[in-house]
Every structure is written in C-alpha cells, then in structure tokens.
Amino acid sequence: MSKIVLFDLGGVLVNWKDEWLFAEITKQFDIEHDVLKSRFDQNIGSLFTGKVTEENFWQVVLDGYTNSKNYIIIDSLFSTKYSINENILYEISILKKTNVAYGLLSNITAPTRKFLDQTGLFNDFKISFFSDLLGLAKPEPEIYQYVLNSLYPEYDSILFVDDKEENITAAQKFGFETILYSPETEIGSKIAQFLNK
C-alpha cells in the first residue's frame, strides 16, 4: 500500500488566519463582521478557482459599502502578515528523509501562489493541487475526485491535513484519512499513526 500526505497551505503550512483579513476589511470599509464573513464565504470559491479577479470578488462582497477602486487587498495583506509554520516544515523534513510521498492541496489565489512560489516554498513539493490552476476548490467534491484520479493507483492511501472542518468532512467522504489541524495538534504522532497502519 502506497501512502501520501497532503497538506493545506493557509492555516497549516503557512500561518494565516482569515480573521486577519476580516479585521482589515472591516476597518477599511466600515462593514459589519458578520455581513462580511457571510458574503466572503458565499463568493470565495469563485476567486479561488480563478472565475473572477480579486477586484471583481471585492466589488460583489463590498457592494453597497464602498466606492473605492483599491481592491487588491488579499495578496498585499498576505505578503506582510504570513509566516511559515516551522512545525509543519519539520514534519515534512521527516517525511522527506523516510521517502514518504507528500504534497499540497490548497485553495489559493493566483497572485498568492506566484508570490509563495518565488520564495522557494514549493521547491520540495513534487505533487501539488492548487485551486486556481485546477478551477476546482475545497470543499466541493470535484476537487477530491480529481485528486483521487490523479494519485491512484500509485497512491492508494491519502492523509489530508487541513485547518477547516468543512474541507476535512468533504475529504472523508472520498476515503481520505484526515487531520483537522490547529497549532495544538500533535501532528507528528498523528502522521506516524497513519504511516504505521
């Protein structure tokens, strides 16, 4: 049985919280947090899959709250606030030493992906599934089916690490083993359990 571990980016490999973005937007545009989050969640899939630009995304989300033309917010904020999760990097280094396959499965905007690529973060990842390149986004079932079709039969057991419960629940329906990640998660022991099964 060949196993592979797939990591999410934002909230797992990369320290990033949507709340940082919500705080910045509510400050800039005087929109209520709950309204912002609802509109954001309803429309973010279109941005992650490249169906709309960030400018178009914010025009919809902030409709009625602003006349501003400065809609390049996510990527400019990301580049100043993000950091690499050293705990996850350490776990990946262990996988690398033991020749266990690993990769990325992430919802991401094209500018953010290009920015992270330029930092060299992706250099060690031979397998990656990015929403903006696939036109598919978590937690929609099509992305998990695509991953399965791409990995099978070389890999018939997949562990997926993500920080969002809806993404984990969707992956489980396709037979993925999962870890719902938080900074308190004992990630090393959970990965070891998967590998030792």
Average pLDDT of the chain to the nearest whole number: 94
Alpha carbon of residue 161 to chain centroid: 10
Q: Look up residue 67 and give its two tokens.
A: 């006349």
Residue 49 amino acid letter: T
CATH of 3-15+82-195, one of 3.40.640.10, 3.40.50.300, 3.40.50.1000, 3.10.310.30: 3.40.50.1000
Which amino acid belongs to residue 172?
Q
Give CA–CA dist 42/163, Å, rounded: 19
129-161 confidence digits (pLDDT tens): 999 999 999 999 999 999 999 999 999 999 999
Question: Which candidate, 171, 169, 91, places its Cα nearest to that of 124?
Answer: 91
Could you give the CA distance from residue 147 to residue 173 in angstroms, rounded to a whole number?
13
User: How confident is residue 65, by pLDDT bands cut at 50, 70 and 90?
Assistant: confident
- For residue range 80-128, what is the model confidence (pLDDT) as tens digits? 999 999 999 999 999 999 999 999 999 999 999 999 999 999 999 999 9
CATH 3.40.50.1000 segments of the chain = 3-15+82-195
CB 84 within 8 A of CB 121: yes
